[in-house]
Amino acid sequence: DVKVTQSSRYLVKRTGEKVFLECVQDMDHENMFWYRQDPGLGLRLIYFSYDVKMKEKGDIPEGYSVSREKKERFSLILESASTNQTSMYLCASSRTASLYTQYFGPGTRLTVL
């Protein structure tokens, strides 16, 4: 079974802090994604990556950056956390051969005070 893990289920940070959210997948998937999920807004794509050291902006990249130094790991970075970044963050991965089936991690609920 594909396993996508996220470093924390719940996280509380203060405004202005630098925040790292880690995602690891164990199935050698080429593609990895970061979404945020907010009530009434559905899932919105922040960044995605098709390969190591490669990244592309999604629909809402402002205030975020990402890092993919290894194939299995995709990190989301909030350079200076703000209260409007309080949200559920979901990581996903997929194989290029079955491009459209994404496997999701359990999510990280981030609260920025």
Partner 1 sequence: SQQGEEDPQALSIQEGENATMNCSYKTSINNLQWYRQNSGRGLVHLILIRSNEREKHSGRLRVTLDTSKKSSSLLITASRAADTASYFCATDNTNAGKSTFGDGTTLTVKP
Task: Report the interface residues with partner 1, using CB under 8 A.
Answer: 4, 31, 35, 40-45, 48, 58, 90, 92, 94, 96, 99-107, 109
- What is the C-alpha separation between 15 and 27, in angstroms, rounded? 35
Residue whose CB is less far from partner 1, 51 or 79: 51
Q: How far is the CB of 98 from partner 1 (least distance, A)?
A: 9
- What is the C-alpha separation between 64 and 85, in angstroms, rounded? 10
Q: How far is the CB of 100 from partner 1 (least distance, A)?
A: 6
Q: How far is the CB of 18 from partner 1 (least distance, A)?
A: 25
With 0-12 / 13-18 / 19 or more C-beta atoms within 10 angstroms meaning exposed / middle / buried, residue 58 is: middle
Q: Give the tokens for residue 77.
A: 């970075």
Residue whose CB is less far from partner 1, 29 or 112: 29
Closest C-alpha among 82, 110, 79 to residue 91: 110
Residue whose CB is less far from partner 1, 71 or 109: 109
The DSSP letter of residue 61 is: -
Q: How far is the CB of 45 from partner 1 (least distance, A)?
A: 7
